[in-house]
Structure 1
Amino acid sequence: MKYFEQAYEHMERPFAWLDLDALDANINFINQTATMPIRIATKSIRSLPVLHYIMERLDTCVGVMTFSASETLYVLQHCDVHCLIGYPVMERTQIRQLLQYDNVTFMVDHVAQIMPLREEARKANKVAHVCIDLNMSTDFKALYFGTKRSSLHNIATLNHFLPYLQHPHIMVDGVMGYEAQIAGVSTHPINRVKGWMIRSLQRRAKKEVANQRRLLVAHCKFYFPHIRFVNGGGTGSIHYTTKQKEVTEMTIGSAFYAPSLFDDFNALSLQPAAGFALRVTRHPEPNTVVAHGGGYIASGAIAQEKAPVFVTHGYHLLSLEGAGEVQTPIHIDKHAQPLQIGDTVYMRHAKAGELCERFNTLHAVRGREYRGEMSTYRGDGQCFL
């Protein structure tokens, strides 16, 4: 990280860094690998300047997938882009605000989500565009492999649900079938036995997902033949999803920053593009230093993989302390680069956009040159979830 030291020598620690060369390489990887239009997952970016930067460089960008109604409104105020809201919206005021835009699609998988959309659209004399969220998880009976998300998992549930969408103030815009068990689960976790099980389950799940999604999409199109798009995939399933003929667009988010959770996806040629820097402020033992801050733990089920990781090899978190809210003890291997008080430690978050909730600014670097600040949602004074 010597070139980082030169570029960031004027910066006060802690700060969040963004490597534009790595970001460009990841964008190029997506352009070369994902042979279908891309929808950017904003939850993995959480910075308007970075979002614009990526959209300008993608070969085919059909829009963004936002993660809340308020965030969608914020994005629409600053970007001329189609927004697919990835999660149901139940707040009436926000529905009324979003109905003023023609380039918004709501996510639905249950009758209770449709009713407020129908009522508010009727009152406003508008048409609410919706996307049908299909459950692509694989139920192996003894193990549920996937996410607990949509209630639409077979033809019977669709037959009960779809008639409620046949309404003068509802337009079925698209279908989404997200294969989370393939796109977001590392095939080589720290636990080797767990890794073997995941790879085995994924091989079986790929066949079932392909058949199930084609069947359910065809059924939706029988009811609504003018469906405009079918969304699927994610960073971890790029090679798989591009081969699925029923999918017309893919959602990509984590691939751009390439957080540590995706280091063990063997098929991904990604470069770490974002992280944070801490100052070493204590040296209690010969092989231990303490950095100020660092407790930026990723969301989801608690596991070792959710902790931040070091950019430089030879440094480790202490098992009894981990990354702390105000200080992070660091064990230094015998042959690793020594650390002294005043030195900088560069780290990476386990998940992509969540890092931006901790910092107001991403400080961009290209090569050895500092390229300025790119504000995060937090830096813009925004907090959505």
Structure 2
Amino acid sequence: MDKVNDALKAYANLKRPFACIDMEAVDWNIEMVNRLTVDKKIRIATKSVRSVELLRYIAEQLTNHGGWMTYDCEETQFLLERGFDDLLIGYPQLEKAAIVLLIPYIANGAKVIFMVDSEEQVGLLHRIGEAFDVKIEICLDINLSTDYKLLYFGTQRSSLKKLDDVRELIQKLQVYSFVEVVGVMGYEAQIAGVADIPAAKWQKPIIRALKLHSEKKVDLYRKAAVHEIRKAFPAVRFVNGGGSGSIEFTCRAEEVSEVTIGSAFYFPALFSRYNNAPFEPATFFALRVTRKPDAQIAVCHGGGYVASGAPGIDKSPVPVWPKHLTLLANEGAGEVQTPVYDKEKSLSIGDTVFFRHAKAGELCEQFNELHARRGDRYVKTFKTYRGDGACFL
């Protein structure tokens, strides 16, 4: 309740809706990341932050910051123009014009690494590198998902699902002289990206068993794949793994040199479904109550900020203050108005309701700025990518 009163005081004069960030919670989350990662380097996932100033703030507080993971060529250029370096583009890029725009930065010494898992992706990069006489650095993305035949546990992303797939691509890469393999990524999505406490409670023991079994397979495959890749490409300088949902597991892997972390800094609602996550919610958005059609129904203006992924209640924003509020099952979070069920009949027209977004950086696509506070003191605003006039994907 103290935090809510602090927020209401700090933001008393702001126009609703607004997005806000608790800097004391951010600092706590950064400290927890520093403790959990021990000696691993930390590559910040920019998509989970989406604010240039906050990216810089987080990096300065990390004891072992090791670069950035971006999500698009245009975003990468946007950050390069602002002095960022060591940018691993986390997803394959096939827009030739966008890739070409990064070549001058690479030629001038900037570290930009492209993610690949197929010969088609490599071939395009090779041809661009050859045309400009620039060697392009690449990272091989291996698929750590577990295929149980009746159930595919993980994500359908990389085509490098088996050791034979890795060996086959290694052989094909030998003819591409304008690319250089400098990294390996093995993202254990089924561990880092699947909540321990699902929306359907009956799934909990199943997910726990699947995760434990999958951890063993991840360990074996990633170690073997990294060994094969290092043997073929001695220039490999990093092995990337993990995410905010698997920090401890990934940091135990000897072959992993760096961990990608993003969501932990904001700690959105979806991550409250993870066991043993020692983080604090840091980002919220606030809506004004504008209607009371019923004593137990309050209607807020705005709020339709639903997260990406498979549709489900876990992707909806969560009303967190007052505590007794819930979304209506047949309406959810609406584009321009969001009704909530007010069990205690406590809300009046004009009141404020605070929500947590399900995911981290996606909230920043809805607002131009995040209003920061420390305790009950308003600190400043942080511009989001949107506030900087930028939109990627």
Q: Shorter chain as normaliser: what TM range?
A: over 0.9
Shift of residue 81 of structure 1? 2.2
Residues 88-125 of structure 1: per-residue CA shift (max 9 Å, x gap): 11111122222222310000000110111101101111
| Alignment pair present for 1:319 and 2:329 | yes
Aligned to 1:332: 342
| Alignment pair present for 1:43 and 2:47 | yes
CA distance in 2, matches of 1:198, 1:210: 18
On the 8 A contact 1:71/1:384 being kept in 2, the answer is yes
Greater than 3 Å deviation, 4+ residue runs: none
Q: Which amino acid aligns with 2:265?
A: F
Pairs within 5 Å for 1:243-254: 243-254=252-263
* DSSP-derived class of the 1:73 partner: helix
Aligned to 1:368: 376
TM-score between both structures, scaled by the size of structure 1: 0.98
Segment drifting more, 231-240 vs 156-165: 156-165
| Alignment pair present for 1:308 and 2:311 | no
Uncovered stretches (5+) of structure 1, i.e. residues with no partner: none
On the 8 A contact 1:49/1:374 being kept in 2, the answer is yes
Aligned to 2:16: 13
Shift of residue 47 of structure 1? 0.7
Shift of residue 190 of structure 1? 2.2
Pairs within 5 Å for 1:254-269: 254-269=263-278
Residues 212-260 of structure 1: per-residue CA shift (max 9 Å, x gap): 1001110111111221000000001011011000100000010000000
- 2:88 alignment partner, one of 84, 87, 96: 84
* DSSP-derived class of the 2:348 partner: coil
Aligned to 1:140: 148
On the 8 A contact 1:165/1:172 being kept in 2, the answer is no
Segment drifting more, 57-66 vs 189-198: 189-198
Residues 318-346 of structure 1: per-residue CA shift (max 9 Å, x gap): 11111100101111123x7x111111101
CA distance in 2, matches of 1:152, 1:24: 37
Uncovered stretches (5+) of structure 2, i.e. residues with no partner: none
Aligned to 2:291: 282
Shift of residue 155 of structure 1? 2.2
Aligned to 1:299: 308
Shift of residue 159 of structure 1? 2.2
CA distance in 2, matches of 1:220, 1:65: 21
| Alignment pair present for 1:160 and 2:168 | yes
* DSSP-derived class of the 1:225 partner: coil
Q: Which amino acid aligns with 2:194?
A: V
TM-score between both structures, scaled by the size of structure 2: 0.96
Aligned to 1:223: 232
CA distance in 1, matches of 2:298, 2:166: 57
Pairs within 5 Å for 1:371-382: 371-382=379-390
Aligned to 1:107: 115
CA distance in 2, matches of 1:9, 1:184: 36
CA distance in 2, matches of 1:316, 1:95: 45
On the 8 A contact 1:230/1:248 being kept in 2, the answer is yes
Aligned to 2:6: 3
Shift of residue 153 of structure 1? 1.4
Aligned to 1:174: 183
- Percent identity, aligned pairs only, is 47
CA distance in 2, matches of 1:154, 1:225: 21
Residues 273-326 of structure 1: per-residue CA shift (max 9 Å, x gap): 001000000111111110000010000000110000012220011111111001
CA distance in 1, matches of 2:300, 2:230: 56
CA distance in 1, matches of 2:230, 2:122: 18
Aligned to 2:102: 98
On the 8 A contact 1:99/1:127 being kept in 2, the answer is no
Shift of residue 48 of structure 1? 0.5
> CA RMSD of the aligned region, Å?
1.0
On the 8 A contact 2:187/2:242 being kept in 1, the answer is yes
* DSSP-derived class of the 1:207 partner: helix
Shift of residue 53 of structure 1? 0.7
* DSSP-derived class of the 2:392 partner: coil
On the 8 A contact 2:163/2:221 being kept in 1, the answer is no
On the 8 A contact 1:165/1:171 being kept in 2, the answer is no
* Matched positions, count: 383
Shift of residue 376 of structure 1? 0.5
* DSSP-derived class of the 1:31 partner: helix
Shift of residue 86 of structure 1? 0.4
On the 8 A contact 1:294/1:327 being kept in 2, the answer is yes
CA distance in 1, matches of 2:19, 2:92: 31
CA distance in 2, matches of 1:300, 1:127: 35
Aligned to 1:345: 353
